[in-house]
Amino acid sequence: MNIARSEVGYREGYSGGHWDNSQKFSPAVPGLEWSDEQPWCSTFVSWVFQEAGARDLAPVTASCLEGVSWFEDRGRFSEYPAVGAVVYFGAGGGSHVGIVTSYTADTIYTVEGNTNDSGSAEGDGVYRKARSRKSSYVYGYGYPAYPEGLVVADPGWKGRKGVTYFGQEASEDDLPSGGNSRPDKPAPSGQVVIDGLPYGPGAEGDHITRLGRMLVAAGCSAYAEGPGPVWTSADAASMRKYQLKIGDTGSEADGIPGKLQLTRLKREFGKAA
């Protein structure tokens, strides 16, 4: 995503009074040299993965339709967004493509090549775009097999190794550092230590009060009084309400915070603490 964003503002060639699809990406991708002066949105995506040293995680193609087939053949295509997913647009996904950087319940945020301010599939450069998540123009999403794991909105991917499920919204702040989305949690019902501070049964400190205040601000209070500096069952019940609110279930919603859950809570409601 950093590589894709670094190209925002790049413009293709201009000749004969119009944009001409001449660009730097095709000549730089082995096997796609022929695609210069052709529509280049898919070539741009291939170039980004190549530059990231991840050429094998996405299709090397100038065709959006071939890109869709590549992900489908590997069982990694979804109708739901993911952070870092390759999003395909139009009938059969064959019209246009970009890279998802974040999503909310209503919007996907992307970096796309060969588009413009209006979001055309035949534009003039690399742009950041905000598009309706529920638009019929969005065909679906290819999920690269990132070794760090994925943050996805697809409920069908819950429980897969390395997958974090955030159904409503997610950004790079929610990305796993690798594998388990809750690396600090040794046992579902035990105490955890996150950034040097304990949470769960037996935990005490001002940080427990701050956690409670954030949970209250998030609309997830189960407190009859408080919150206070000593962990109680009300803290666990409030935390579980928040976990369920953001779409976590099962062992991920047991009332004990995980690192990514706490990071998100702080980002959204930290001022309340």
Q: How confident is the model at residue 178 (pLDDT cuts 50, 70, 90)?
A: very low
pLDDT at position 179 is 38
Of residues 224, 226, 235, 221, the one with CA closest to residue 191: 235
pLDDT tens for 44-102 read 999 999 998 888 999 999 999 999 999 999 999 999 999 999 999 999 999 999 999 99
Long-range own/partner contacts, residues 148-151 (CB < 8 A, 24 or more apart): 148/175, 148/176, 148/177, 148/178, 149/175, 149/176, 149/178, 149/179, 149/181, 150/82, 150/83, 150/84, 150/85, 150/176, 151/82, 151/83, 151/84, 151/175, 151/176
Q: Does an H or E element contain 78, and which? A: strand 77-78
Average pLDDT over residues 136-163: 92
Q: What is the mean pLDDT of the chain?
A: 89
pLDDT at position 254 is 85
pLDDT tens for 164-175 read 999 999 998 888
Average pLDDT over residues 184-191: 48
* 185 neighbors 258 (Cβ within 8 angstroms): yes
Average pLDDT over residues 2-26: 90
Neighbours of 2 (CB within 10 A): 10
pLDDT at position 183 is 39
Of residues 210, 86, 182, 201, the one with CA closest to residue 139: 86
Say which residue the tokens 């990305």 belong to: 175
pTM, full prediction: 0.65
Task: Indicate the pairing of strand 163-165 with strand 150-152.
Answer: parallel
Q: Which of 116-120, 193-197, 215-219, 236-240 shows the lowest mean pLDDT across its residues?
A: 193-197
Q: How confident is the model at residue 184 (pLDDT cuts 50, 70, 90)?
A: very low
User: Which one is predicted more confidently, 141 or 123?
Assistant: 141
- Which residues partner with 193 through β-bridges? 198
Q: How confident is the model at residue 226 (pLDDT cuts 50, 70, 90)?
A: confident
